[in-house]
């Protein structure tokens, strides 16, 4: 594997996730749920409420 020290942190995390092969279907589901949770939290962090502009 290439040297990960100089790579983008997000890219390092993706590489680490891809290296973890799920053991069974339950483990695969847990990995997918973790991915979905991170995606949802990212969406919440970037949510800009536009409903308050009329105040």
The residue extents of the domains of the chain are 2-47
Residue 46 has what pLDDT?
76
Residue 49 has what pLDDT?
67
Residue 15 near residue 3, CB atoms below 8 Å: no
Name the more confident of 37 and 16: 37
Name the more confident of 50 and 16: 16
Tokens found for residue 55: 């105040």
Kind and range of the H or E element at 53? Answer: none
Residue 24 near residue 18, CB atoms below 8 Å: no
Measured CA to CA, the distance from residue 42 to residue 47 in angstroms comes to: 9
Measured CA to CA, the distance from residue 32 to residue 26 in angstroms comes to: 10
């Amino acid at each position: 594997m290439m040297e990960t020290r100089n790579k983008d942190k997000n890219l390092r995390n993706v590489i680490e996730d891809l290296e973890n092969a799920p053991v069974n279907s339950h483990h695969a589901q847990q990995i997918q749920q973790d991915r979905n949770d991170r995606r949802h939290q990212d969406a919440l962090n970037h949510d800009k409420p536009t409903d308050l502009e009329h105040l």
